[in-house]
Amino acid sequence: MAKKISCLGENIIPPAHVGVIMDGNGRWAKKRGLPRKFGHREGAKTFRTITRHAKAVGVDYITYYAFSTENWKRPKDEVESIMDLFEKYLDEVKDFIEENIRIRFIGDRSVLRPSLQEKMLDTEETSKDFDAMTLVLAINYGGRDEICHSVKTLAEKVKRGELDPKDITEEMIERNLYTEEIPPLDLVIRPSGEQRLSNFMIWQAAYAEFYYTNILWPDFKNADFDRAILDFCERNRRFGGV
C-alpha cells in the first residue's frame, strides 16, 4: 500500500531508506564569524527536526553520516566538541524512544569514549523492538573500512577451514557489513553544494539516487527534504536494466 505524505497532499511512495550526509556545519558557522562547533550544534537541531519529519512522511530507514573515519584529522577541539554533542544527544534520546523510533549505530565504536560506547549499547537495546522508523547514526564510519571489516571476517573463516574462497559471494560480504538487516540506500541527500559520496556507504549506495543542494545543513528545512523526496519519485530507477 502506498504511504501518504500528508504535508504534500498527494499519495507518494517515499524511498524506504534515505541517507543524509550532514555537510556544511563549519561553513555555516564561519559565515557568521563563529567557531565551527557552533555550526555542529545548529546541525544537531536540524538533525532532530528532519528525523521527525522523515518519520511523518513515511520513510522506513534514515541514516546520517555523523562522523567519518577521516574526521579525526580535524582540530582536536572540534572533534571533542562533536563527541560532546553525541553524548548530549544520547542523554536526550528518550525523545525519539518515546516516538517508537529504533536507533542503530554503525562504524567502529571501539575507539570512542567508553561512556559513549555504553550509551550507544543502551540506546540500541532500549529501542530494539520499536518499529515506527529506524534511525541509523554512522559514527567513526567509513565505507572502505566497513568493507575491509567484512572481508576480514570472511578471511578468518577461510583461515579456520570453514569457508572456501571460491564460495565467497556478494551476499556473504553484505551479511558481514555493519548494516546487516538494513536495506540498501534508495536516496542519498547531500547539502552544502558538494557532489561526492565521501566514503559514505559505498556498498549500500551502489544503486542509490543522489540529490544535491547548495543549502548548508543547519539551514536545511522540512520543505527541502520534501523537495528531495519529490525529485526521487520522478526518477526512473532501472537497476541496470532497460
Neighbours of 229 (CB within 10 A): 23
Query: Annotated binding site for Mg(2+): which residue ranges?
Result: 23, 209
The yes-or-no answer on residue 11 being catalytic is no
Q: How many CA atoms lie within 13 A of 142 on its CB side?
A: 9
**How many Cβ atoms are within 10 Å of 15's Cβ, its own excluded?**
25
Active-site residue, from 11, 23, 145, 226: 23
Catalytic-labelled residue, pool 11, 60, 71, 176: 71
- SS3 of 129, please? coil
Output the DSSP codes for 6-31: GGGTEE----SEEEEE---HHHHHHH
Q: How far apart are CA 181 and CA 177, in angstroms?
A: 9
Q: What is the torsional sign of CA 16, 62, 218, 9?
A: positive
Active site (annotated) includes residue 23 = yes
Distance (Å, rounded) from C-alpha 168 to C-alpha 178? 18
| Closest residue by Cα to residue 155 from 172, 140, 136, 139 | 172
Question: 52-84 burial, b for 16+ CB within 10 Å, e for fewer?
Answer: ebbbebbbbbbbbbbbbbebeeeeeebeebbbe
Matching residue, cell 554512522: 138
Q: Summarize the annotated binding site for substrate as residue ranges.
A: 24-28, 36, 40, 68-70, 72, 74, 190, 196-198
Would you name the residues annotated as active-site residues?
23, 71
